[in-house]
Amino acid sequence: MQICCYEWTASPRHKRIFEGGKPVKKVIFLVDMNAFFISCEMTRNASLASVPAAVAGDPKKRTGIILAANYEARSHGVKTAMVLHEALKRCPEMILVSPDLTFYKQKSREVMDLLSNYSPIVEQNSIDEAWLDMTGSEGLFGTPVEAAKHIMDEIKDRLGLWCSVGIAENKFLAKMASDMKKPLGITELWKDDIPIKLWPLPVKTMHGIGAKTAEKLERIGIHTIGELANFDASLFVRTFGKNGNDIYLHANGIDHSSVHPHRADEMKSIGREKTLPENISDIEKAKIVLIELADHIGMTARNHGKKGRTVQITLKYSDFRVVTRQTTLSATFTTREIYQAGCSLLEQNWNRNHAVRLIGLSLSGFQEEDSLKQLSFFDLKEDPGKNDKNQRIDQAMDKIRSKHGTEIITLAALVKKETI
């Protein structure tokens, strides 16, 4: 039998999980958006996706530099930070777009909000990348690679953007892994992989080493990360000063820094959407999809201890019109209550004459004050005994899934989902 307990650090968010008295291996993701600025532009101008295109400073005057180029432009040798006139020599037919930082920040917020559904511990490193502490999430999202695939697919399907994911035991290795395969790459870089995957790389590719430091390293005979890792530690620190120790530790795959969320309440909502394999007009089929979504949302909410008061549904029709509706209920994270609220909204807004191609469901309102709580139909219908029973059922299912995986047990209605 496995015994789980928790050792709390300075913040409850940064708990370390133990099994059988031994620390569980940390699982850290670095999600890096691919060609982010120009990818944002392609979400609102699909014609840019099939031709060489780039976001650049002052395209009308043909001055400035390339801020982001799509992969069609990169195939011609165009690179980020390249002087614009040089880029146009390499790819004269490239379409140039003026930067819109307000739009890119909005898309970045959408990415970070989506990532917060997978972990309450998200540290945004820049406008287009973030670390996630995914330790202990296997019961929710499967293996690290399976979880990364979920994230990649959801970012692509919901936001129209591409990303790469690095998976490792610490932030440095996750960052290095995220750069190893682009676009749409998932790379694992565990400590056992370091001699094979990390050490052969040129030292100039190492995260945290700039051009000047790389030149200095090469002058003393260090050309690869492996050569740096095996250099005399004390001599290296004396040569490179206070940053030398961190550089040396990183080369050996050592990074003790934690993932620190930048926002006080980083998880604003928990949501899932499903694009249907075919458009549907039958509300009973829609309800089966809703159960699937509620099941996943409830399990995620319970895993993070988040009870929400607002349930929202999203319906996208075959003509791409989108309708959202929401309701308020007593704070909950039980699957049945989330489903009931969503189902009521679905029944109130279903139109059999308009086929639906996507259904979404979300739970939010985690930080609202008790004084603002509104009674709803569900408060009057359900009694405390039933609510306790629902929670016990959910907790029993969560426990089984945590040990054996998410597919081992499911709600009876979901057995019919293949009919949709």
pLDDT tens by residue, 9-66:
333 333 334 444 455 689 999 999 999 999 999 999 999 988 999 999 876 665 689 9
Q: What is the pLDDT of residue 392?
A: 63
Cα(215)–Cα(240) distance, integer angstroms: 13
Say which residue, 188 or 141, is predicted with more confidence.
188
CA-nearest of 112, 71, 114 to 94 is 71
**Strands 269-280, 356-364: parallel, antiparallel or unpaired by DSSP?**
antiparallel
The pLDDT confidence band at residue 296, using thresholds 50, 70 and 90, is confident
Q: Is residue 385 pLDDT above 90, yes or no?
A: no
Q: Is residue 306 pLDDT above 50, yes or no?
A: yes
Cα(387)–Cα(410) distance, integer angstroms: 19
Q: Residue 16 forms beta bridges with which residues?
A: 7
Mean pLDDT of the residues in the chain = 83
Q: Is residue 228 pLDDT above 70, yes or no?
A: yes
Q: What is the pLDDT of residue 269?
A: 81
Instruction: Provide the annotated active-site residues.
Output: 129
Q: Residue 28 forms beta bridges with which residues?
A: 133, 168
Contacts of residue 29, defined as CB under 8 A and 6 or more positions apart, other chains included, come to 119, 131, 132, 134, 144, 147, 148, 151, 165, 166, 167, 174
Q: Please identify which residue in the block is written with the tokens 């002058």.
A: 219
| pTM, rounded to two decimals | 0.67
Cis peptide before 59 (omega within 30 of 0): no
Q: Is residue 388 pLDDT above 80, yes or no?
A: no
- Walk me through the domains of the chain, giving residue ranges and CATH numbers: 269-419 (3.30.1490.100)
Displacement of CA 174 from its chain's centroid (Å) = 14
